[in-house]
Amino acid sequence: MPVSWLVFHLTDRCQLSCRHCLRDPGRAAVDLPIPLLEKVLDEAVRLHRTRHVAFTGGEPTLHPRFADAVDAVARRGLDWHFVTSGRGFARVAALLEADPRRREGLTAVDLSLDGADQATHEAIRGEGSWKDAMQAVVACEARAWPFSLQMTVHAQNAHQIEPFALLAAQLGAGRVSFGMTQPTGTDFDARLQLPMAGWRDARERIRRVQELLRIPVVAHEGFQLDQPFHVCEPFRSELLHVDPHGRLTLCCQHSGVPGGEEDVVADLATTGDPGLEADRFLHVLAGTGSVACTGITCLNAGAILYVAGRAGDLATGARRSRELVRSGAAFATLCRWVRTQADADGRSLERLRERARRLGLEDKVPL
């Protein structure tokens, strides 16, 4: 299945302390290992025909080997863009200018602004951050580099949706986008979150701006939509997100929420090891797998049940799959299948029992 683009959360490092940031302040910053990045790139190109890469963070340009990350993308002939606050952009510009191949696939410098004026922006991102972003805009304009502006909407800046979009158009941005502020797990949540009516109003105003401006105006996933059934890019498997630990996660908007790792699908540093993959799958069937792994497995199983005529729709198939896992029927079916396999030494079930015992699942395998 084609994956349109791959998002690397390169690092948790950042020079700012934005109020809506999803980074956990209680954890030390982590940098994605470049060899792992290259491994994932090769697999994504080979298996999913991926052609675009995004670098985010933290501040991705603070990765100690940011140049190596860019070069890895350039060597594979992929398009790419990166998100930045604009702070220290002169250093980044020099890095990009040092090798023209680094700029060939660059589709956008995605600058984060949180308001249409300095006061609103800096109330969220801190003193001096407005000047940093504006200097980055000028630097991109002077070099004819494509850039876009993105705003994270919340209670303290929602009133500036229209002027922000106009500012982006006036500055020469190729695109303007709006995202929803996600829960951070900090005390700022109470001051930043809008009521449901406020989010609906914000989405409607973004829709009207889309009709008025010539440049693309994008509302990111999360806003309420008119469609009764909407599947986001990650669940359509059109976007994959890799966090700085090298783990595949369901969504970049939730992967850094302090205190939770439920959306981790797999540790990409260990994928490819048949033993580790078997352990992960056994945990899913036993009902002890991660929320993300179980969700993906049941979603795929639900599609199979639907195609086989054993479920009236995909949602029913997914629910039935979860019921099979919760009831123990899924693991029991695996045991019956293993028991019927013809193997050389007749020890298939015993090997399954040994692996289950090592994982603390021995009660799941019949004697």
Q: Which of 241, 267, 293 is the last residue of a domain?
A: 267
pLDDT digits (tens, 9 = 90+) for 47-103: 888 999 999 988 999 999 999 999 999 999 999 999 999 999 999 999 999 999 999
When pLDDT is averaged across residues 185-200 and rounded to a whole number, the result is 90
For residues 39 and 86, membership in a common domain is answered with: yes
Burial of residue 151 (CB within 10 Å: 0-12, 13-18, 19+) is buried
Which of 71-85, 244-258, 264-278 is the least confident region? 244-258
Which residues are CB-contacts of 305 (< 8 A; sequence separation ≥ 6)? Answer: 311, 316, 317, 320, 321
Query: Between β-strands 52-57 and 79-84, what pairing exists: parallel, antiparallel or unpaired?
Result: parallel
For residues 158 and 301, membership in a common domain is answered with: no
- Band the pLDDT of 1: cuts 50, 70, 90: low
**Residue 54 to residue 14: CA distance in whole angstroms:** 17
For residues 148 and 93, membership in a common domain is answered with: yes
For residues 51 and 199, membership in a common domain is answered with: yes
For residues 185 and 49, membership in a common domain is answered with: yes
pLDDT of residue 27: 78
Task: For the chain, give the number of residues.
Answer: 367
CATH number at residue 121: 3.20.20.70
Which of 36-45, 105-114, 129-138, 218-227 is the least confident region? 218-227
Burial of residue 196 (CB within 10 Å: 0-12, 13-18, 19+) is exposed
Q: Which of 25-34, 172-181, 187-196, 307-316 has the highest mean pLDDT?
A: 172-181
For residues 319 and 253, membership in a common domain is answered with: no
For residues 348 and 280, membership in a common domain is answered with: yes
Burial of residue 321 (CB within 10 Å: 0-12, 13-18, 19+) is buried
- Band the pLDDT of 253: cuts 50, 70, 90: low
**Residue 326 to residue 335: CA distance in whole angstroms:** 16
For residues 163 and 258, membership in a common domain is answered with: yes
Over 90: is that where the pLDDT of 214 sits?
yes
Numbers of helices and strands, H then E, in the chain:
14, 10
More confident residue, 9 or 227: 9
For residues 281 and 187, membership in a common domain is answered with: no
The total number of structural domains in the chain stands at 2
Q: Which of 267, 298, 321 is the last residue of a domain?
A: 267
For residues 135 and 253, membership in a common domain is answered with: yes
For residues 207 and 278, membership in a common domain is answered with: no
Residue 342 Cα distances to 282, 345, 354, angstroms: 21, 9, 18
Over 70: is that where the pLDDT of 14 sits?
yes
**Residue 131 to residue 226: CA distance in whole angstroms:** 38
Cα dihedral sign for 34, 35, 40, 45? positive
For residues 203 and 327, membership in a common domain is answered with: no
- Band the pLDDT of 363: cuts 50, 70, 90: confident
pLDDT of residue 3: 81
Q: Which of 240, 267, 294 is the last residue of a domain?
A: 267
Q: Which range of residues forms the domain containing residue 306?
A: 274-364
